[in-house]
Amino acid sequence: PQMTERVKYHLGIYSGRLKNVIGRYIVRRKKYFPMIEDIFKSKNLPLELAYVSMLESGFNPKALSHAGARGLWQFMPATARRYGLTVNKSLDERIEPRKATYAAAEYFKDLISIFGGKRSVMLAIAAYNAGEHRIIGALRQIEDPMRNRDFWYIYRMGILADETNEYIPRILALMIITENQVEFGFKEPERDKNASLESEDDFIELGF
């Protein structure tokens, strides 16, 4: 019930006051989604993970957050370097879509190896947002991990930050809208030839 309620809430926000923003994300999806899918297929990763980029950056390879995360996958410098990307004063490979996506694929592989696949892949997605140590700490508080080791159980426990609790419902909402654009009133927006869809400024961190 909590999942359904929160997904519906974000569906309302994304098809309401943030409709223009999501419309731009859908436009960029056409450019970058096939590349992401090809790389994730080559790594045997669930293709649904591609929507993490939609939430993180709106598929904008130049997106820059207030915290300093950058690129399609919003890597912080330390995480980017850990997965083979060069980040220094003269070069920032976080803004190179293909290289950043290969790095994200390796990161997801590591997270899935820690938290498991199939029904546990949501734990890996939550760890992408919160960091693996926070999710491990939450899992350690489950009294019966043989039965209850999944994201929605720790969600109901209320021990994760609101941002992480909402991360999965927000991704699910983006998936539903993208796959049902007409039903949610989306059509391809007219593009302003003088405006760039891939600038650092064309990025809004999707709120709750």
Band of pLDDT at residue 195, cut at 50, 70 and 90? very low
Which run of H or E residues covers position 154? helix 151-157
Give 50-69 pLDDT, tens digit per residue. 999 999 999 999 999 999 99
| Nearest-10 Cα torsion for 90, 95, 98, 102 | 90
Find the radius of gyration of the CA atoms of the chain: 17
Question: How do residues 14-30 score in pLDDT, each as one tens digit?
Answer: 999 999 999 999 999 99
Q: Mind listing the pLDDT tens digit for each residue in 143-180? A: 999 988 989 899 999 999 999 999 999 999 999 999 99
Structure tokens at 54: 């939609």
Cα 18 to chain center, whole Å?
Answer: 17
Residue-wise pLDDT for 27-40, tens only, equals: 999 999 999 999 99
Encoded tokens for 160: 């994760």
Q: How far apart are the first and last CA of the chain?
A: 18
pLDDT of residue 3: 86
Residue 13 CA to residue 67 CA, distance in Å, equals: 24
Q: Would you please indicate which residues are annotated as catalytic (active-site) residues?
A: 56
pLDDT at position 204 over 70: no
Distance CA 50, CA 132 (A): 19
pLDDT classification of 1: cutoffs 50, 70, 90:
confident
Distances in Å between the Cα of 62 and the Cα atoms of 14, 17, 101 are 22, 24, 13
Task: HSE, CB side, 13 Å, CA atoms: give it for residue 39.
Answer: 20
State the pLDDT at residue 116: 83
What CA–CA distances, in Å, run from 21 to 55, 105, 162?
A: 11, 26, 22
**Beta bridge partner(s), residue 187:** none
**Residue 140, C-beta contacts closer than 8 angstroms, at least 6 positions apart:** none
